[in-house]
A and B are shown apart, each in its own frame.
Chain A
Amino acid sequence: KQEVTQIPAALSVPEGENLVLNCSFTDSAIYNLQWFRQDPGKGLTSLLLIQSSQREQTSGRLNASLDKSSGRSTLYIAASQPGDSATYLCAASGYNFNKFYFGSGTKLNVKP
């Protein structure tokens, strides 16, 4: 069974800082790893999907990397803004691409 861990659990930074969120997973035989954003009481917004054959994906100020051999993914957020404040979730599939295992999330607070 895939186990997904996210560190840190919470992070507070001043506006404008670049930051890195970490995700680790136990089973390197993954198909996909997806990063989501969750606002309080809301659904999950997909940010980036990295396929197992890829090393990174970029969307605007976001860059996600994947290192299957070490069981790690990082989400890099450049020039953070108060609107980036949310919980960021990492989800990794196991041998079955249909099934995502989620981490507990990193709660990000970007201070103006």
Chain B
Amino acid sequence: EPEVTQTPSHQVTQMGQEVILRCVPISNHLYFYWYRQILGQKVEFLVSFYNNEISEKSEIFDDQFSVERPDGSNFTLKIRSTKLEDSAMYFCASSGGGYQETQYFGPGTRLLVL
């Protein structure tokens, strides 16, 4: 069964460093998302992406964050200058072509900023 994959599974970085989190969505999906979950807190929406542009972003998704679909298969989240409070589990998700379709989540990347 097709699934969303994410790499790396864990990343440790120093405050102020740039990180890139990678995702391979399900191949025929058209909508892509990033969510995050700080330990012990709710899963929070960050951004959605469709047709090579951001379709919605949350107030969390400030200028330090960016997303890109560099080729036909990968979807990346970049954090330019990490902060301690960026430590969280980051989930990538994808859904098909309609507006009422299931979002499928990847296993997540656990980011720890020291």
A31-B99, A46-B105, A49-B101 given; A99·B43 CB < 8 A: no
Q: In the complex, what residue of chain A is closest to B107 when comparing beta carbons?
A: A43
- Interface contacts (Cβ under 8 Å), in number, total 54
In A56-112, the 8 Å CB interface with B consists of: 89, 91, 96-105
Distance of A105 Cα from B76 Cα, bound (Å): 27
In B22-67, the 8 Å CB interface with A consists of: 31, 33, 35, 42-45, 48, 50, 55-56, 58
Q: Are A34 and B102 in contact (CB under 8 A)?
A: yes
Contact with B along A30-59 (1 / 0, CB 8 A): 011010100000111110010110000000
The listed residue (B44, B58, B91, B101) touching A43 by CB distance below 8 A is: B91
Q: Are B91 and A44 in contact (CB under 8 A)?
A: yes
What's the least CB distance linking A3 to chain B, in Å? 10
Interface size class, chain B: 20 to 34
Residues of B within 8 A of A89 (CB): 43
Residues of B within 8 A of A105 (CB): 42
Q: Are A102 and B106 in contact (CB under 8 A)?
A: no
A43-B91, A49-B101, A98-B33 given; A104·B42 CB < 8 A: yes
Distance of A96 Cα from B105 Cα, bound (Å): 19
11 further A-B contacts with Cβ under 8 Å, apart from A44-B105, A97-B99, A97-B100, are A42-B107, A43-B106, A44-B91, A45-B105, A46-B103, A98-B31, A98-B50, A98-B56, A99-B56, A99-B58, A104-B42
